Structure 1
């Protein structure tokens, strides 16, 4: 497992983010299949423990965030990190 800290920030001068939900998914086949990763609230952000697959390749991450007003964001980082 690899511990991954997560932070959500707005542009400078904007009000702080009041996230209602934070989700994280990972894929090891460039987004063809996704696996949900549990996210835990920590002091100033969130944290997730991403499993390390047994085969070499690349990990793709997708974060989904929704704030208290229902405004959301989905961000995907294809091949975010190398495996093996």
Structure 2
């Protein structure tokens, strides 16, 4: 949960403007991937307790979350400043 705040703090320390496309893009991807992961955890808990759920949609949420976090790592590694 602290990752966005510590990331923005580090960007501020370096002196980069927060309006750069790669920083804004990674923030949006982080929000989507985190919401997808939380939604997936709730659905998996419901599936575990009641046995009712759509496994295909759970797989789609897992893929969105995984691809999102890999894309963030790629953006942060490339740092296209």
TMscore range, shorter length:
under 0.3
Flag the structure with higher helix content: 2
Q: Name which one, 1 or 2, has greater alpha-carbon Rg.
A: 2
TM-score (normalizing by structure 1): 0.27
TM-score (normalizing by structure 2): 0.27
Bigger relative contact order, structure 1 or 2 (CA pairs below 8 A, ≥6 apart):
2
